[in-house]
Structure 1
Amino acid sequence: MTGTARALPVPDLTDDALAAVTAEVADTAAEYDRSGEVPVRGLAAAHRAGLLTATVGGRYGGPGAGPRDTARILAALGEGDPSVALIAANTLAAHASQAAHPHWPEAFYDDLLARSAAGPAPVNAIRAEPELGAPARGGLPRTAVRRTASGWVLDGHKSYATGGTALAYHVVWAVVDEPGVPRVGHVVVPADAPGITWLDTWDHLGLRASNTHDVVYEGVELPADAFVEIPRGEDGVYRDPAAVTGPGSFGHLALYVGVARAARRAFAEFARSRVPAALGRPIATTERIQSVAGEVDLQVAQAETLLHGALLRVEAGDGAVAPQLPLVKVAIARAVVTAVQTAVAALGNPALSRHNPLERHLRDVLCVRVHPPQEDVALLVGGRRVLGV
Structure 2
Amino acid sequence: MKLTDLKTMDERLDLLDQTAANFLDRARKYDEAGSFPFENFAELKKINYSALAVPKEYGGLGISLYEMLKMQETIAQYDGSTALSIGWHMGITKHTGETNAWDRATYEAFAKDVLEKGTLLNNAATEPATGSPTRGGRPETVAKEIENGWIINGRKSFTTLAPILDYISVSASIDGTDKVGSFLVRRELEGVEVEETWDSIAMKATGSHDLVLNDVKLNKQDLLMYITPGDKAAQGWLLHIPACYLGIAKAAQKYAIDFATSYSPSSIKGTISEIPAVRQKIGEMELRVLESSTFLYSIAKKWDKGDEETRNAMKAELGAVKLSVVNKALEIVDLAMRIVGARSLSAKCPLQRYYRDVRAGLHNPPMDDMTIMGLAGSSIQKHT
2:230 paired with 1:240? yes
The residue identity in structure 1 corresponding to 2:301 is L
2:265 paired with 1:273? no
Please report how far the alpha carbon of residue 141 of structure 1 lies from its aligned counterpart in structure 2 after TM superposition: 0.2
Please report how far the alpha carbon of residue 111 of structure 1 lies from its aligned counterpart in structure 2 after TM superposition: 5.6
For residues 52 and 375 of structure 1, the distance between their equivalents in structure 2, rounded to whole angstroms, comes to 29
Paired residues for 1:1-389 under 5 Å:
9-10=4-5, 13-14=9-10, 15-100=13-98, 101=100, 103=102, 106=105, 110=109, 113-114=112-113, 116-118=115-117, 120-179=118-177, 182-230=178-226, 238-241=228-231, 243-317=232-306, 319=310, 321-388=314-381
Taking structure 1 as reference, are residues 366 and 61 closer, same or farther at Cα in structure 2, changes over 3 Å only?
Answer: same
Taking structure 1 as reference, are residues 145 and 61 closer, same or farther at Cα in structure 2, changes over 3 Å only?
Answer: same
Q: Tell me, yes or no, if the aligned pair for 2:80 and 2:244 is still in contact at 8 Å.
A: yes
1:46 counterpart SS class: helix
Please report how far the alpha carbon of residue 268 of structure 1 lies from its aligned counterpart in structure 2 after TM superposition: 1.5
Deviations 1:56-105 (A, max 9, x none): 11122100112111111110111111111122111112211332115158
The residue identity in structure 2 corresponding to 1:327 is A
Tell me what 1:235 maps to.
none
Q: Tell me, yes or no, if the aligned pair for 2:51 and 2:114 is still in contact at 8 Å.
A: no
Please report how far the alpha carbon of residue 127 of structure 1 lies from its aligned counterpart in structure 2 after TM superposition: 0.3
State the TM-score, normalized to the length of structure 1.
0.89
After superposition, the CA RMSD in angstroms is: 2.3
Number of matched pairs: 373
1:80 counterpart SS class: coil
Please report how far the alpha carbon of residue 290 of structure 1 lies from its aligned counterpart in structure 2 after TM superposition: 2.4
2:21 counterpart SS class: helix
Please report how far the alpha carbon of residue 348 of structure 1 lies from its aligned counterpart in structure 2 after TM superposition: 2.1
Please report how far the alpha carbon of residue 322 of structure 1 lies from its aligned counterpart in structure 2 after TM superposition: 4.3
Taking structure 1 as reference, are residues 289 and 104 closer, same or farther at Cα in structure 2, changes over 3 Å only?
Answer: farther
1:348 counterpart SS class: helix
Give unmatched runs, 5+ long, in structure 1: 1-6, 232-237
Q: Tell me, yes or no, if the aligned pair for 1:283 and 1:289 is still in contact at 8 Å.
A: yes
Q: Tell me, yes or no, if the aligned pair for 1:42 and 1:81 is still in contact at 8 Å.
A: no
For residues 203 and 332 of structure 2, the distance between their equivalents in structure 1, rounded to whole angstroms, comes to 18
Give unmatched runs, 5+ long, in structure 2: none
Q: Tell me, yes or no, if the aligned pair for 1:138 and 1:240 is still in contact at 8 Å.
A: yes
User: What is the identity percentage for the equivalent residue pairs of Structure 1 and Structure 2?
Assistant: 24
1:129 counterpart SS class: coil
2:194 counterpart SS class: strand
Q: Tell me, yes or no, if the aligned pair for 1:59 and 1:99 is still in contact at 8 Å.
A: no
Q: Tell me, yes or no, if the aligned pair for 1:245 and 1:373 is still in contact at 8 Å.
A: no
Deviations 1:259-304 (A, max 9, x none): 0111111112222332212225322233332222121111111111
Q: Tell me, yes or no, if the aligned pair for 2:233 and 2:315 is still in contact at 8 Å.
A: no
Q: Tell me, yes or no, if the aligned pair for 2:236 and 2:303 is still in contact at 8 Å.
A: yes
